[in-house]
Copies of this chain bind each other. A is one copy, B any other.
Amino acid sequence: MLEKMQEIVEKIKQEKPLILNITNYVTMDFVANGLLSMGASPIMCKAEQEVEDLLKIAKSVVINLGTLDESFIHLCHHTCGIANQVKKPIILDPVGAGASRYRTNTALKILNDYQISIVRGNASEIMALSGLTSMTKGVDSTVDSDNAMEAAKLLSKKYDVAVTVSGKWDVIADGDRLSLCDRGSSLMPMVTGTGCLLSSIVGAFHSVENNRFDAAVAAIIFYGISGEMAAEKSAGPGTFKSEFLDALNSSYHQTYYEQN
Give the interface of A toward B (CB within 8 A): 16, 18, 24-30, 32-33, 36-37, 41-47, 49-50, 53-54, 57-58, 66-70, 96, 99-103, 136-140, 189-193, 235-239, 241-250
Contacts A28-B25, A138-B43, A237-B249 given; does A49 touch B242 at CB 8 Å: no
Q: Please indicate the chain B residues that have their CB under 8 angstroms from the CB of A49 in the complex.
A: 69-70, 100, 102
State whether B138 touches A101 (Cβ < 8 A): no
State whether B138 touches A41 (Cβ < 8 A): yes
Q: Please indicate the chain B residues that have their CB under 8 angstroms from the CB of A99 in the complex.
A: 43, 50, 53-54, 57
State whether A190 touches B36 (Cβ < 8 A): yes
State whether A69 touches B57 (Cβ < 8 A): no
A242 to chain B, nearest CB (A): 4
Q: Please indicate the chain B residues that have their CB under 8 angstroms from the CB of A54 in the complex.
A: 99-100, 138
A68 to chain B, nearest CB (A): 6
CA distance A41 to B140 in the complex (A): 7
| 12 additional contacts (CB under 8 A) given A54-B138, A238-B243, A241-B245 | A32-B193, A33-B241, A36-B190, A36-B191, A41-B140, A42-B138, A43-B139, A46-B67, A46-B69, A50-B99, A53-B99, A237-B246
Q: Please indicate the chain B residues that have their CB under 8 angstroms from the CB of A136 in the complex.
A: 57
Which of B47, B189, B244 has a CB less than 8 Å from the CB of A238? Answer: B244
Q: Please indicate the chain B residues that have their CB under 8 angstroms from the CB of A28 in the complex.
A: 25-26, 29
Shortest Cβ distance from A71 into B: residue: B69
CA distance A105 to B22 in the complex (A): 22
9 contacts between A and B (CB under 8 A): A16-B137, A25-B25, A29-B29, A33-B192, A37-B238, A41-B139, A50-B103, A238-B248, A242-B242
CA distance A66 to B103 in the complex (A): 25
CA distance A243 to B243 in the complex (A): 12
Contacts A28-B25, A192-B32 given; does A137 touch B41 at CB 8 Å: yes
5 A-B pairs with the lowest CB-CB distances in the bound complex, closest first: A238-B245, A236-B246, A50-B100, A53-B100, A32-B192
A177 to chain B, nearest CB (A): 32
A57 to chain B, nearest CB (A): 6
Shortest Cβ distance from A49 into B: residue: B102
CA distance A58 to B249 in the complex (A): 37
